[in-house]
Amino acid sequence: MTYKVMVVDDAAMMRLYISSFLKTLPDFTMIAQANNGQEALDKLEENPDVDLILLDIEMPVMDGLEFLRHAKLRTRAKICMLSSVTVSGSPHAAKARELGADGVVAKPSGTVSHDLQEKTGDELTRVMRSLMAA
d(CA 43, CA 37): 10
pTM: 0.93
Provide the number of structural domains found in the chain: 1
What pLDDT score was predicted for residue 124?
93
Which residues of the chain fall below pLDDT 50? none
Q: Are 65 and 39 in contact (CB under 8 A)?
A: no
| Positive/negative CA dihedral, 14, 2, 65, 122 | negative
Nearest Cα to Cα of residue 35 among 58, 19, 65, 69: 58
What pLDDT score was predicted for residue 89?
66
Strands of the sheet containing 78-83, edge to edge, are 28-34, 3-8, 52-55, 78-83, 103-106
CATH code assigned at 47: 3.40.50.2300
Domain span at residue 29 reads 3-133
